[in-house]
Structure 1
Amino acid sequence: PVPALPALSALVFGGHDTLSCPLTKRAEELAAGGVLPYGLPQAVHAELTAADAAIRPGGPQAGDTRTDAELISAFAADLRAFRRDHHLDRTVVINVASTEPAPADPHGDRLPASSLYAYAALRAGCPYLNFTPSTGLHHPLLQEMATVSGLPYAGRDGKTGQTLLRSVLAPMFAQRALAVRAWSGINLLGGGDGAALADPGAAAAKNAGKARVLADTLGELPAGDLHIDNVPALGDWKTAWDHIAFDGFLGSRMTLQTTWQGCDSALAAPLVLDLARLLAAAHTVGLSGPQPALGFYFKDPDGGPAALAEQYAALVEYAELLRNGTPS
């Protein structure tokens, strides 16, 4: 049998980043903003410095003349070197980059950045998780390759706030036969996510996953729009409002309004740790292909139920399967 999931103390962190801000400084900024406890950045200064040393320049960036093939080879080489240099049993690649716009031409000559990294993960023999709504492995040129890779993968777009609440509320309306006439929402957020989602293409990619939760649970997408507004003054914090118009007994008109205020990075971090450990265990026991039982964590999962309670039940069963071991 396979032991419990890899211990948190067994994880080693590295990656690619397009920003040059040291992790120590970023942690101090998060503590100053109330996201991290006071004094924590100093307490883990050595660990942050070690992780910083394992971060390589991300790409492609403006002016990068390398071809897709050259970029994929370089990224895959970095992944292999990371595993070798740190004497790791396996490496799980997780996309936590800013949301990119959906490619205008899915069959175009160039792959989006998220798909370059997904391709590199497959080439380096690494399980892959897409915590963003970006294309990643969903690109038509990569889907067959992912299927035959023998690697487990999951995604996409982490479910941390407004959509998490939607995946709880939507089944309530369906199960009580309360007809939803309209469901509208507004997101106000700052930081890097706010700046990235100011791009209409990126915002559209983000909203698609939010809409899918409602459509899958209610059977159709209710009327109503979802807006994402960049408010730099909010920093790493986010406010989300939902307004739900529904019919009660004999068509009586009712509404429900919700407000969600939180910090997406603090909500996402434990999910990323969970997913890294779960997919590492899946790789250990020889599972491959999409892992729909991890839909609990995603807005747009690869199959499985849409309602949170059913997703959690599937996750618990999956975790038990991993503990007991599964034939390759």
Structure 2
Amino acid sequence: MTTTHHVRTGVWFVGARGSVATTAVAGCAALAVGLHPATGLVTETAPFADCGLPPLSSLVFGGHDTADFPLPKRAEQLASGGVLPHGLPSAVAAELAAADAEIRAGGPLPGDTRDDESLIDAFAADISDFVHRLGLARAVVVNVASTEPLPGPDDPRLPASSLYAAAALRAGCSYVNFTPSTGLRTPALEAATEAAGLPHAGRDGKTGQTLLRSVLAPMFVQRALDVRAWSGSNVLGGGDGAALADPAAAAAKNAGKNRVLADTLGTVPEGEVHIDDVPALGDWKTAWDHIAFDGFLGTRMVLQTIWQGCDSALAAPLVLDLARLIARAHEAGLSGPLPELGFYFKDPDAGPASLADQHTALLAFAARLRGIR
């Protein structure tokens, strides 16, 4: 199959008015017209040049959100907070307005009496309308909404993230879960996921502290150093900080952070990860790690790291990468989970935990896509 680049590809964000989605829409528009270099966008590097990925200029955005704050205004807020470059919201105002016009009301909001099936149908209808009305070749549904608490074993209802994931399948769209929320990973959706035959990837984007852990943990293993304890702390604001102030949501987040240590070290060392909501920090986050390890003859040593970053600016290019890669995988006829995209996730579908090994797998996936025409 020959990839033609006049076709347009949809990116449907769950959480479309949030910081990550807004940064991705504004950033994509800026890159498409050459206002900024593609720093942080792995799919714009040389190994991906001939993979048939949809060009940034061909991406069309829409989504669901329970908020109704206009996207152009959200972009202005992000610019005033230093997340977006000064002047960018006005430079890409038309693209922000076009995406804003394609955002539909999400749910379920308090008082919504619709059952799960009705909600899935409604969400799927919104996505299908987006694809058909705009004449898109296909669309990718990407969950960038706030982290939800893990559902209890006796919950009678699907969590919201799973309703949107089911709607993606029903609308015939590939799916990416960039959050720690349940999404497709529930027994209730196993049969539907299998029957849909669509590519999907997740879970929980790896942007900062866990990215660093996936580089450092293999170092200790490769040097035969014994990690005794690994503690972490995060202070952050913005929507993520507010959502993670809920202990149940924080527990869902921390499960992914610990997975890289368990998978790499073979055990989870002593120590916990703490997450503190500091609204004054906005979209900026500081993460500390304290690693206690034993060297030769039991000599006790410590490594400490500090990561200070802007979550939205770290996440947005990864979201664009994933949308392009999954859209291309869908076009190429691939289906099921794509562990080759574990490079992007704290809690990937399968595969190695080391970032270096994950990068090797990603490059092999790029070569595979290059060979499918």
TM-score of the superposed pair, with normalisation by structure 1: 0.98
Distance 2:203 2:297 in 1: 39
* Alignment match, 1:32: 80
Q: Which of 90, 108, 131 is matched with 1:83 structurally?
A: 131
- Residues 152 and 290 of structure 1 are in contact (CA less than 8 Å); yes or no, is this contact kept in structure 2? yes
Distance 1:254 1:109 in 2: 49
Distance 2:118 2:181 in 1: 21
Letter in 1 for 2:169: L
Distance 2:2 2:344 in 1: 23
SS at match of 2:139: coil
Letter in 2 for 1:203: A
* Alignment match, 1:103: 151
Q: 1:18 Cα shift?
A: 1.1
Q: 1:20 Cα shift?
A: 1.3
Q: Which of 166, 179, 187 is matched with 2:213 structurally?
A: 166
User: In the alignment, is residue 51 of structure 1 matched against residue 51 of structure 2?
Assistant: no
User: In the alignment, is residue 253 of structure 1 matched against residue 282 of structure 2?
Assistant: no
Q: 1:2 Cα shift?
A: 4.9
Moved segments of 4+, more than 6 Å: none
* Alignment match, 1:19: 67
Distance 1:173 1:143 in 2: 37
Distance 2:350 2:95 in 1: 37
* Deviation sequence 1:20-70 (CA, Å, 0-9, x none): 111111111111111111111000000000000000011011111111111
User: In the alignment, is residue 267 of structure 1 matched against residue 314 of structure 2?
Assistant: yes
* Deviation sequence 1:144-186 (CA, Å, 0-9, x none): 2212211000000000000000000000000000100000000
Distance 1:148 1:320 in 2: 27
Range that drifts further, 19-28 or 161-170 = 19-28
How many percent identity over aligned positions? 73
- Residues 293 and 318 of structure 1 are in contact (CA less than 8 Å); yes or no, is this contact kept in structure 2? yes
Q: 1:261 Cα shift?
A: 0.4
Q: 1:108 Cα shift?
A: 3.1
* Alignment match, 2:41: none
User: In the alignment, is residue 320 of structure 1 matched against residue 367 of structure 2?
Assistant: yes
Superposed CA RMSD: 0.9
* Alignment match, 1:42: 90
Letter in 1 for 2:91: A
Structure 2 gap segments, 5+ residues each: 4-51
Distance 1:91 1:26 in 2: 24
Q: Which of 255, 261, 265 is matched with 1:218 structurally?
A: 265
* Alignment match, 1:305: 352
Structure 1 gap segments, 5+ residues each: none
Distance 1:46 1:183 in 2: 47
* Alignment match, 2:29: none
Aligned length: 325
Distance 1:158 1:248 in 2: 32
Q: Which of 186, 192, 214 is matched with 2:239 structurally?
A: 192
Q: Which of 199, 204, 207 is matched with 1:157 structurally?
A: 204
* Deviation sequence 1:219-268 (CA, Å, 0-9, x none): 11000011000000100100000000000111100000000000011000
